[in-house]
Structure 1
Amino acid sequence: MRKTSIPQMTLAYLAGIHGRGGHTLKVYDCIASGITNEDLFMDMDEFQPEAAFINTVTPSINADLLFVETFKKRYQGCFTVVFGTHVTALHQEIMNKNSFIDCVIRHEPEWTSQELISALQDGRIPDEGIHGCTMRVNGKVIVSADREYNSDLDSLGFPAWEHFDKSRYFHPIFNKPYVMVSASRGCVHNCIFCVGHLYYGKKVRFRSIASVIDELENHVIGKFGIRHVWMHADDFTCSPEYVKKLCKAIIERKIKITWWTNTRVDKRDEEMFQLMRDAGCFMLSIGGESGNAQILKMIKKGTKPEHIKDTVKLLRKVGISSLVYFLIGLPGETRETIQETVDFAKQINPDYVEFYPATPYPGTEFFDIVRAKNLVVDVNWDNYMTGGSQFVIEIPGVKKEKLDKIIRKAYRKFYLRPAYAWILFKRALRPAEFLRLMSFGVGYFRRFLSPTN
């Protein structure tokens, strides 16, 4: 099975912004392309960078920092910048402990990076720093004021995917290369486990319909020939009217794409789902989180189990596949509520389901809760992986060795049953679905269903 790689949309936006600004760029997605540090340094020795922007995430932060340290020793005159939700949440700690980092960009980096590069070109960083940055100014770490979120998303232009090998971006739901297209940023909800607000804020900002259509028609398809898209948004269906207008425009322009995105279960709108289907949407991912109403209340999800059930039912009626995510280990979790969630997943019977350990990321209320209650049993950031099977927190009343087996057992209970086999049989009659099921199925079997695991 091919390795799943996610398109680096923020890097692509940064490449587009600074490329259009007249700067000479080198852009690397080392994970997707399999580029080693040695390969990169051989290229950099000739290029001699003046500034470097490094994307970071929690499960790779240790490796990220080690890379930046090695990079800085080799290119001492290069201004090193890191960004991402992890360094946003822990910006002062990151700067104080890692002298080889010159700047942390907090929250979304695009507009801040433009001002930062302009200041570096002028040869002087203001004494008060640059809004949105925690940086070294005259030998001191300066925490500047937050930058206000820019509502003009159209001004970002389009991601510069020409710097990336698109064939490396593979996901089994497409079984073909794909890219991301961002329709909006931000989410108004208060889920205690989500890091989205650290990056894009708590106010939803929309791109214009014309801009999204232009990107799909002339950039994604016209320039790169790609017709598989992840419509990226923190809460894609937060405005049903916006979604309806976008889908109508895709249909009217006869833009032939296959895409997927997310929806909250309190945004059930049959007309919207029908238009999404007609515009090429074949799957919606749903953050179900738990089958227990009290846990949903405790995590401030703002939904109820019946909302999840009704949404899956409506999507099946409309003809859009559903992928429901559940988190095991949220506040209030017990052995009984875990079983309740697994039973609930079988009852609502979505097309796909994924069970993840609930992971407390820095900057979230969930992180503060588990630390205050001394429930953290693993402090190695390497293991804070969304979509993995390793628990980093304790669930009261459930032994750690039992927790490590819970995820695989949950998958087996859901997928290895006659009711689900019937769903697969009906869907496998469609050629495109058959190929998708084969790709998805092999991955699931290897990860969770194989008797050797």
Structure 2
Amino acid sequence: MPTEVLLINPPDFKSKYKKYFNIRAPPLGIAYIAAVLEENHVDVEIMDCAAEDIGYKEMERLVGELDPFLVGVTATTPLIPEALRSVEVVDDSCNAYTVLGGPHPTFMHEDILQNNNSVDFIVKGEGEYTVLDLYRTLREGGDLSNVEGIVYRSGGLVVENKERELVKDLDSLPYPARHLLPIDEYVVFDERMSITTMICSRGCPMQCSFCASSALHGKKIRKRSPKNVVDEMEYVKNNLDVSTIAFMDDTFTLLPEWVERFCNELKERDLDIGWGCTARVDKADKELIELMREAGCHTIFIGVESGNQEILDRVKKGTSTNQVRNIFDTANDVGMRTVASLAIGLPGETKETVEKSIEFVKEIKANYALFSVATPYPGTEFYKKVKGVGEMQEDWGRYDLFSPVVETTELTYDEIKKLQKQAFKEFYLRPTYVIKNLIDEGIPFYKVMKAILKQSMKQ
């Protein structure tokens, strides 16, 4: 029997995170869409090509067998070439309507529809109820102009419908349809782990010029209730044998009072489940971090961005290097594993500021550091500024955080790449650092080191 809706996470054969670190995480966006479809009695399947290493020939065969009515493909900026190729394969394999969604199509919808005839519709922003509405309208032969949140072609023109309201009550959403995902295929550093991803919030009021979160999910943060989140944690532990949760919120600690209530709820239930999250340095004091540690948090991912205050101010980060030092001191004191994320090549960057950032991240004693190339993603203020003066490359496949696509006034593409490699080597090849972490972390650290060095040594 033909499938009504097929949702595809496109192939990923080039992502540096997959290639070098072998990190394969569940695609929460399409899993939420699938859950809403199922809740409304729509037959749906998920094809996670990235996790299962499904290529285009295999995709063509599988799509032909499923013979879906509607196919949705999700797309980030670096994987938009693969997403568009996937839509072409679908178009050649069956007579399904094709839909493209995700961050990149949300901001680049007109360009995509003008240049890709295989794409019938684009879903902007949060897609759960837009996809459901579009499916019903197509099945019933309804008026497409009434479907909020879609962009499509009509009479040779690109038509953009009214935007759909954001989901106000996140507790009303069903849990992601993880039962449709290849759970056993999700790995971290080659290790199959009993881990899954979750979100507690959408939206962000912060003004960071390099981030598109507020443009995608709105400037007002919407939170699930602590009880609803812990209920889901309990569900995945009992039903999927999950022992670790990775919270994917842009800033998990943005509302400290919410975090306190969440941690207390988690402690009361005594779930014995580990978790990691993002933290903003001005939104987590010593008491909060200690409470998080007591509630099972073992890892925090912190957007340091730069060790230079002037650059932090330029990108509207709204934090100080002193606040960064304080949160790392506290996390280290309570035994929390820390991951510092920095961007090389932000506006105003020089060789000297990069070297200062490298020294800074050593000084704060981060357990791990990720040095990304500053990348102007569509939807960000960063993108609009460099786009306006024509100073960037728009080869979307290079927007992978490892390939420079925009120069600074003092650094060329090649210099930015060399400085990124220098940062990885200087941070990870310190003898005292290697010895300490091999003792503390053992095999997991060895695998991280192997992946990092493989990437940093690559020419």
TM-score by length of 2: 0.91
User: Contact 1:173–1:436 (CA<8 Å) still a contact in 2?
Assistant: no
Q: Does structure 2 retain, via aligned residues, the 8 Å contact 1:192–1:300? A: yes
1:408 to 407, 414, 421: 421
The 3 A distance-change label for structure 1 pair 112 and 194 is same
Which of 241, 244, 249 is equivalent to 1:228? Answer: 244
CA distance in 2, matches of 1:233, 1:404: 28
Contact 1:129–1:135 (8 Å) recurs in 2: no
In structure 1, the partner of 2:56 is: 37
Residue 442 of structure 2: SS of its match in structure 1?
helix
Tell me the equivalent position of 1:384.
Answer: 399
Equivalent position SS for 1:54: strand
> Aligned pair 1:398/2:398, yes or no?
no
Partner of 1:144: 161
Distance 2:167 2:412 in 1: 47
**Counterpart-to-counterpart distance in 1, 2:231 and 2:179:** 17
Change (3 A) 1:82 1:399: closer
State yes or no: 1:180 paired with 2:197. yes
Contact persistence 1:189–1:202 (CA under 8 A):
yes
Structure-2 residue corresponding to 1:211: 228
Distance in structure 2 (CA, Å) of the matches to 1:173 and 1:280: 24
Where do 5+ consecutive residues of structure 1 fail to align? none
Measured in 2, the distance between the counterparts of 1:424 and 1:74 equals 50
Question: What SS does structure 2 have at the residue aligned with 1:223?
Answer: helix
What's the CA shift for 1:189?
0.3
Measure how far apart 1:140 and its partner are: 4.2
| TM-aligned CA distance change 1:2 to 1:372, over 3 Å | closer
Corresponding residue number in structure 2 for 1:372:
388
The code of the aligned residue for 1:58 comes to T
Which of the numbers 345, 350, 361 marks the counterpart of 2:377? 361
- AA matched with 2:416: L
Q: Which moved more, 1:316-325 or 1:270-279?
A: 270-279
CA shift, 1:419, in A, is: 4.5
Q: Kindly indicate whether the alpha-carbon contact (under 8 Å) linking 2:23 and 2:190 is maintained by their aligned counterparts in 1.
A: no
Q: Are positions 1:305 and 2:321 aligned together?
A: yes
Mind listing any 5+ residue stretches in structure 2 that lack a counterpart?
Answer: 1-19
Q: Give me the whole-angstrom Cα distance separating, in 2, the residues matched to 1:333 and 1:151.
A: 39
How far has the Cα of 1:295 moved from its partner? 0.8
Cα shift at 1:407: 1.1
Change in 2 beyond 3 A, CA 1:169/1:292: same
Structure-2 residue corresponding to 1:113: 131
- Cα distance in 2 for partners of 1:140, 1:49 equals 27
**1:47 to partner: Cα distance:** 2.2
Does residue 443 of structure 1 match 2:451?
yes
SS in 1 for 2:245: strand
Secondary structure at 2:79 match in 1: helix
Deviation at 1:74, TM superposition (A): 2.9
Q: Tell me which amino acid in the other structure corresponds to 1:146.
A: E
Q: Find the aligned partners of 1:153 and 1:38 in 2 and give their Cα distance.
A: 38
Letter in 2 for 1:151: K
Q: Secondary structure at the match of 1:58?
A: coil
Specify the SS of the correspondent of 1:222: helix
- 1:96-175 matched pairs, under 5 angstroms: 96-126=114-144, 128-137=145-154, 140-172=157-189
Q: Distance in 2 between matches of 1:400 and 1:226?
A: 42
**Which amino acid in the other structure matches residue 415 of structure 1?**
Y
Distance 2:83 2:46 in 1: 16
Query: Using the alignment, how far apart are the partners of 1:434 and 1:421 within structure 2?
Result: 10
Superimposed CA distance per residue, residues 138-169 of structure 1 (whole angstroms, 9 cap, x where no aligned partner): 66432112112121111111011111111211
One of 104, 118, 127 as aligned partner of 1:86 = 104
Secondary structure at the residue paired with 2:397?
Answer: helix
Aligned partner of residue 90 in structure 1, secondary structure: helix
Give yes or no for the alignment of 1:271 onto 2:281: no
Once the two structures are TM-superposed, the CA of residue 421 in structure 1 deviates from its matched residue by 3.7
Equivalent residues of 1:129, 1:142 under 8 A apart: no
Equivalent pair of 1:288/1:308 in contact (CA under 8 Å) = yes
Q: Distance in 2 between matches of 1:441 and 1:337?
A: 25
Q: CA deviation at 1:137?
A: 4.5
For 1:345 and 1:137, locate their aligned partners in 2 and report how far apart those are by CA, in whole Å. Answer: 53
Mapped partners of 2:270, 2:443: distance in 1: 25
**Structure 1 residue aligned with 2:78:** 59
In the alignment, the residues of structure 1 paired with residue 172 and residue 97 of structure 2 have an alpha-carbon distance, to the nearest angstrom, of 26
Identity of aligned residues (%): 31
Would the aligned equivalents of 1:88 and 1:198 in 2 still touch at CA under 8 Å? no
Aligned amino acid, residue 298 of structure 1? R
Looking at structure 1, the residues matched to 350 and 203 of structure 2 have their Cα atoms a distance apart, in angstroms, of 32
The equivalent of 2:9 in structure 1 is none
Deviation at 1:50, TM superposition (A): 0.7
Q: CA deviation at 1:104?
A: 0.8
C-alpha distance in 2 between matches for 1:208 and 1:402: 46
Answer yes or no: is the 8 Å Cα contact 2:106–2:124 preserved in 1.
Answer: yes
For 1:202, give the aligned amino acid: K
Higher mean Cα deviation, 1-10 or 156-165? 1-10
In the TM superposition, what is the alpha-carbon distance from 1:205 to its structure 2 partner? 0.6
How many angstroms apart in 1 are the aligned matches of 2:107 and 2:21?
Answer: 33
Task: Indicate if the aligned counterparts of 1:358 and 1:391 stay in contact, CA closer than 8 A.
Answer: yes
Cα separation, 2, equivalents of 1:47 and 1:397: 53
In structure 2, give the amino acid aligned to 1:69.
E
Q: Is the 8 A contact 2:286 2:327 kept in 1?
A: no
Correspondence 1:328 to 2:344: yes
Distance across 1 between alignment mates of 2:189 and 2:257: 30
CA deviation map 1:71-95 (0-9, x unaligned): 113323x111111111111111211
Where 2:425 maps in the other structure, the secondary structure is helix
User: What is residue 3 of structure 2 aligned with on the other side?
Assistant: none
Evaluate the alpha carbon distance shift between residue 258 and residue 439 of structure 1 in structure 2; reply closer, same or farther with a 3 A threshold: farther
What secondary structure is seen at the aligned counterpart in 1 of 2:99? strand
Query: Structure 2 CA distance, aligned partners of 1:369 and 1:333?
Result: 16
Alignment deviations for residues 263-289 of structure 1 (CA, whole Å, 9 cap, x no partner): 011113222212211221111001111
Q: Shift of residue 414 of structure 1? A: 1.5
Conserved 8 A contact 2:212-2:379: yes
Q: Deviations over 1:59-117 (max 9, x none)?
A: 111121122123113323x1111111111111112112222211111111112112212
Q: CA deviation at 1:422?
A: 5.6
